Amino acid sequence: MSHFADRVIAAIRARRTPLCVGLDPRHESLPESIRQRHPATTAGRAAAYEEFCHRVIDIVAPHVCVVKPQSAFFEACGPAGMVALQHVLRYAKWRGLLTILDAKRNDIASTAEAYAEAAFHVYDADALTVNPYLGRDSMEPFLKVGRRTRRGLFVLVRTSNPGGGQFQESEVAGRPLFNHVAAAVQSWSAEHPGTSGFGDVGAVVGATKPAELGQLRKEMPAAILLVPGYGAQGGTSADTAAAFDSQGLGAIVNSSRGIICSFKPNELNWEASVERATREAIEDLAKNTPAGRMKTSSQ
């Protein structure tokens, strides 16, 4: 298996889109036809999530290169939810997709190592989101386990929620805290670059403030950006443009509800709706991504 960043860049070039489909299964948002097939227990909910995600993966696998299951929804189904999560990650891999496990883990020493073992060995995700509040030595165990098996991390740098600024925007030495976190991510990522030039430590940066996104793109040239907030959360394709480098690379743009809930409230033929939403998001993102250059670079 090659370097994580090289796998991401190759996959984006092959599919010619930076779109990532977020697998955030909420029970109340599943198609009624799937909900009805499973009992109203935590195990039944887990089975419904697994069925829904498998069907979404079937639909999106020909179009995109990466999916991002949200751990919390599976965890809320108890141990059965973790079996479902394992199956979803395995199925996505089998369908040729890269997987980012969105679990925002953080701890130190052997505890952080146990989280990394869980994500990369037991659940076999290609990448994991992590929270930086505990500092450099809290990243090392994740890097140690991840680098052994060529996985990646995405560190929360700048989140798009309304209260995200409370600590992230705190002014430290004349700049917001998130710029300092970004500097740390750049240094961690540059330690271990792939042949693409990108490292195996990426950054989560929300799409809701384009100017900031462009600035952070410049400050972290080694980091692949994972950009949430596109679609249902209010970020537009134009807002995400600043996340890309001059080759149209270096970013993954996530859409969850905009795709997996696109059929609401009309549930008949929900799968066609998910496919249409996926195609539309790809086209929408292409408008503001230098896709031609992306194509050229892969030749």
In the chain, what's the furthest Cα-to-Cα distance? 57
> Which of 35, 180, 276, 293 is in the footprint of a copy of itself by CB under 8 A?
180
Structure tokens at 28: 């109340």
Q: Of 30, 56, 33, 47, whose CA–CA distance to 274 is shortest? A: 56
Q: State both tokens at 16.
A: 């010619």
Q: Does 125 engage in binding with a copy of itself (CB under 8 A)?
A: no
- Taking CB under 8 A as the binding criterion, the range among 48-56, 93-101, 159-167, 269-277 that sits at the site for a copy of itself is 159-167
Beta carbons within 10 angstroms of residue 112's beta carbon: 23
Q: What is the CA radius of gyration of the chain?
A: 18
**77 makes contact with a copy of itself (CB under 8 A):** yes
How many Å separate Cα 235 from the centre of its chain?
Answer: 15
Stretch that binds a copy of itself, among 93-101, 107-115, 146-154, 270-278 (CB under 8 A): 107-115
Give the span between the Cα atoms of 151 and 146, in whole angstroms: 5
Instruction: Pick the binder of a copy of itself from 1, 40, 110, 265 (CB under 8 A).
Output: 110
Complex with a copy of itself: residue 17 or 138, whichever CB lies closer: 138
Confirm whether 93 is a catalytic residue: no
Stretch that binds a copy of itself, among 53-61, 162-170, 234-242, 289-297 (CB under 8 A): 162-170
Q: Does 171 bind a copy of itself (CB under 8 A)?
A: yes
CB of 152 to a copy of itself, least distance (A): 19
**Residue 194: closest CA among 152, 245, 166:** 152
Q: What are phi and psi of 235, to 5 degrees?
A: -75, 140
CB of 234 to a copy of itself, least distance (A): 13
For 188, the enclosing helix (H) or strand (E) is helix 177-190
Say whether residue 122 binds a copy of itself (CB under 8 A): yes
Stretch that binds a copy of itself, among 5-13, 146-154, 171-179, 274-282 (CB under 8 A): 171-179
Query: Residue 117, interface with a copy of itself (CB under 8 A)?
Result: yes
- # of chain residues touching a copy of itself (CB under 8 A): 57
What Cα–Cα distance (Å) separates residue 223 from each residue in 72, 113, 238, 253? 25, 22, 21, 14
**Alpha-carbon gap, residue 295 to 16, rounded angstroms:** 7
Give me the residues that bind a copy of itself (CB under 8 A), please. 24, 26, 42, 70, 72-73, 75-80, 82-83, 86, 104-112, 114-115, 117-118, 121-123, 131-138, 156, 159, 161-168, 170-173, 177, 180-181, 184
